[in-house]
Each structure stands twice: as structure tokens, then as C-alpha cells.
Chains A and B, each alone.
Chain A
């Protein structure tokens, strides 16, 4: 559905995209994850035709972007990170009289679609207000509405919920979930909880390169090695020296009264760890196996890349 092959884009001496390749299957919500400056927005801009790559190619629904006679723009709905509007228009005018006709939707159909979308994104009460007076959150909702006017098969959403309050974020994520299966969504974000919640597939990008791409659950299974958290009131003493020497342990960190022990194999590690704690005279308050979040995976992968 969306295919990117070896995209390179430089701005002066900065290499924003460095042979970026990725593939988004039809109907999935693809979480495009990366730190600031990783190349997410540049990728979105190239996919939406606002920028040209130095080299490499990209396709949406088998139409190559930037190729003469191959305009993909009627197939996509785009929500930029900071959507901008004509402040003198009302939201209804913007959708009904401006955006819809650009997609050849006119008259009553355009009016109905505008009202329907304004209801969906929660702007029904503001239909006759000028967009110029909208808050950032309202503009973000408006941005989502304008991206959906023509029911595009592909949606490119750049940080769609970053400006919203918790209630608004929940509503928009629920809306994105309702589009799953019928619309292919490329969603760039730095909010990992949102990715964990709505995305089927996750691509992590850093320094213009795709570090990893996998289904969300596979990614968690592959990269999220469980670890043990042990909390002790009287410190860890010689136990720390012992545990660091064990072959099943890959890393140990201690902060305050808590030791985090990363292991290769949970089942093999669990018993010797418990036995060693019993041997020592430690005042153990908590012994817990913890599943790191996607955030831990993201940080580990991007730090490794850095």
C-alpha cells in the first residue's frame, strides 16, 4: 500500500533521510516512531508531494510519487503536525466550500459530509465560528476532518494527537481505531502509549534510517526481554558482585534501593536468583518480573543507533 525504497534527503549538511526503506501493508495502522529530527516529517512531506527526495522512490497504491502523470494526492488524506487554515473561514465553509470541491465533491453531498465530519471530530458546536479563533487542539481536530473529507484509502497523520488534551486524545485515537481495516494509516508520533494502543505495526526510525519494523506484538516479544526488579531495604552488599558474574545475567543496574537485573532466559534465571537472595541476609521487600514497555525498546534501539 505504501512502499518506500532507499529514500535519501539532505538539507545542507544534514542528512534527514539516509536510505530509508519501509513497507506498509493495506489496512494497517502503522506507527512511525522516532525521536525529534529522525526524519518522520520529511518522510511524510515526500509522501504527500511537498518535498522531493534526492534519490530513492516511493509508491502509494502502486502509483509512484513524483512521477509525471502519477498524482497520488486524491488517494491520500494528510494531517500535518501543525495544520493551518484560513482564519476568516468557518469550519463548515472550509470543508464544504473549499476542501470538498477540490476532490470533486459538491452541493448537498459536500454539505452532508462536512457536517458529518464536524460531528465526528467534536466541532459541531463551532461550525459557525471563525477558524482564526480556534485553539490548537481544535485546529488539530479540524485538520483530521479535512484529511477525511474524500474518504481516502491512505491517511498520513503527523503527530495527530500531540496538541490534544487527554479526553481529545482518547476520542481521536478511538476514531483512528474505527478506520482500522478500511484505511491504511501512517501515524507518526513520539507518544509511545498511543502507538501501543492503536498501531498494528511499528517502525522505529533514527537518523533517517529505519532501525526496526515489526508487528507491535512481535516487536515486544522480540525486543522486550523481561527483567527482574528487586527492592531491598538494606542494600545489596556482596550479592551484587555475585549476580554480575552469572552467565544468565546480561545487565544489572541499581538505583536507590532497587536493582534491575536483565537476564537472557527468565525461566533459567528465576530459581537461582531467588535462592541467592534467600542465602544472603537481604531484607527483600519486592521481587518482581517486569515487562518493559515499548518505550524501553524504543530507547534501547535509538540509543544503540546513536
Chain B
């Protein structure tokens, strides 16, 4: 039963072009990040009528800039994409009536949620693979090779980071009865996490800290963020449990 639900989810993401768009944007992000890091200083220097001496203050690009661009772009586009990918998945089924059709068949309601979550996480993982491979290749060409193991550990941390937003959006979609409310809930969750992430001390425990940890791994810094990893995993589990419990009790 779970395999059937999972197969339907993957097929839906593929046939409705969502997966293709997602992977394409991640591929572009992976290519553009090292390119921007490399050529932004040159573009700035080539601006006509630049005040004298200012060009000397523009630092030469390094591999650290490539990693910083990668983290920034993947984080920003990634969050936006996972929310757009996920916010409608449950609300749409309820709104259109396909959930009612499905739930008259012998399926577990929690399995419906978990199939959607697993599909979303797999697409994010695939996106990060495409993104990471492109970034690795362009960074080698434009700068120097990145530490392979550390770079993929960074991507695993990004998977958890994006997984938080995906799961919160899935929960919002399950709690809502319409897509509009689901969208409001998903972006509301995003805003709450951003605000909490900007508070001193609290930010050390928030998912945003995972990106700093990943960057530090690649650039041989000494930042770790185990508490943030624990909190992120906790948010994911909690949001999934809330979504499953709510859907189990909901009248369709």
C-alpha cells in the first residue's frame, strides 16, 4: 500500500513538472554560485566611473566566497521551492475531493502523509545532489577543489535545514482545509523560524545555524551546532506527528 502511495506521489511530481522545475532551479543554483563568487568582483571593478581607489578595496575572490554563495543561494531558493512544492500537497487533495476518494480505500492516513513527506525529502535530496555536483565542478574549474567529504556533510546539513521547512509546510497543508490557508500557514512558519533565528542565544538552537556549521566544516572552521541539529530533527518529528495525528482524526 505504501509503495503504491509513494509511486503515485513521485509520478505526480514528475508529470506535473514540479520535480523537473525543482531540479532545474537547483542545477542553476549550483552553477551560478561559484560563477557569481568568481566574477562579482570583476563586474564591480568594470563599472564605469568607479570612484578612484575603490577598486583596490574589492577583495580577490576565494573558495570561501564560492561556499558562501552556495549556502546563501541554496538556502534562499531552497526554502522558497520546498514551501511552494509542499504547501498544497494535502490541502489540494482535500479541496479537490481526491482525499475523500482515496480514504474510502484501505489506506492508512498516516501513510498518506509519510508518502508525501518521503517524496518531498527525496526530491530535496536529489536537488542537493544536482546542486552540489554542479557547484563542486564549477568551483574546481574556477577556484580549487573543495574537501569532498566536508562538502557532502554540508549538504546533509542543508537537507535537514530544508527538511524543517518542508515538514512545517506539510503540517500547515494538513491542518488547512484550503490551499490559501495552507500557503499562509507555511509562510507563517517560515517567518516565525526567521524571527527566532535572529534572536541572540535562541539562534544557536535554530535550523539556520546548520548552514554556519556546514560552512565551517568546508572551510575548516571550528563552529559546531549539535543543539541546532537536535532542534531541527525535533521540529521535523514534531511537525510530522502533528500532521499524522490531525489527519487521522479529521473528517473529510
Q: A-side interface residues toward B, CB under 8 Å?
A: 45, 48-52, 71, 73-74, 76, 78, 80, 82-86, 88-89, 97-99, 101-103, 143, 146
Chain A residues positioned under 8 Å from B107 (CB to CB):
102
In the complex, number of A-B residue pairs with CB atoms less than 8 Å apart: 61
Answer whether residue B194 sits at the interface, using C-beta atoms and an 8 A cutoff.
Answer: no
Chain A residues positioned under 8 Å from B46 (CB to CB):
none
**Does A84 contact B100, Cβ atoms closer than 8 Å?**
yes
18 residue pairs A–B, Cβ–Cβ below 8 Å: A49-B103, A50-B251, A73-B104, A73-B105, A76-B104, A78-B101, A78-B104, A80-B97, A80-B100, A83-B97, A84-B100, A88-B16, A89-B15, A97-B7, A101-B3, A102-B107, A103-B105, A146-B101
**Does B103 contact A50, Cβ atoms closer than 8 Å?**
yes
Shortest beta-carbon distance, A121 to chain B, in Å?
A: 16
Answer whether residue B76 sits at the interface, using C-beta atoms and an 8 A cutoff.
Answer: no
Dominant SS among interface residues on chain B: helix
Answer whether residue B1 sits at the interface, using C-beta atoms and an 8 A cutoff.
Answer: yes
Dominant SS among interface residues on chain A: loop
Shortest beta-carbon distance, A158 to chain B, in Å?
A: 11
The answer, among A48, A88, A101, for a CB contact under 8 Å with B104, is A48
Q: Mark B92-113, 1 if CB is under 8 A from A, else 0.
A: 0000111011011111000000
Q: B-side interface residues toward A, CB under 8 Å?
A: 1, 3-4, 7-8, 11-12, 15-16, 96-98, 100-101, 103-107, 251-252
**Does B104 contact A98, Cβ atoms closer than 8 Å?**
no
Using A52-B251, A103-B106 as known contacts, say yes or no to A84 and B4 having CB atoms under 8 A apart.
Answer: no
**Does A73 contact B101, Cβ atoms closer than 8 Å?**
no
Chain B residues positioned under 8 Å from A102 (CB to CB):
1, 4, 105-107
Using A50-B103, A71-B106, A103-B106 as known contacts, say yes or no to A84 and B96 having CB atoms under 8 A apart.
Answer: yes
Shortest beta-carbon distance, A36 to chain B, in Å?
A: 19
Q: Name the residue of chain A whose CB is nearest to the CB of B1.
A: A102
**Does B15 contact A88, Cβ atoms closer than 8 Å?**
yes
Q: Name the residue of chain B whose CB is nearest to the CB of A71.
A: B106
**Does B101 contact A80, Cβ atoms closer than 8 Å?**
yes
Shortest beta-carbon distance, B115 to chain A, in Å?
A: 12
**Does A85 contact B98, Cβ atoms closer than 8 Å?**
yes
Chain A residues positioned under 8 Å from B101 (CB to CB):
78, 80, 83-85, 143, 146
Shortest beta-carbon distance, B140 to chain A, in Å?
A: 39
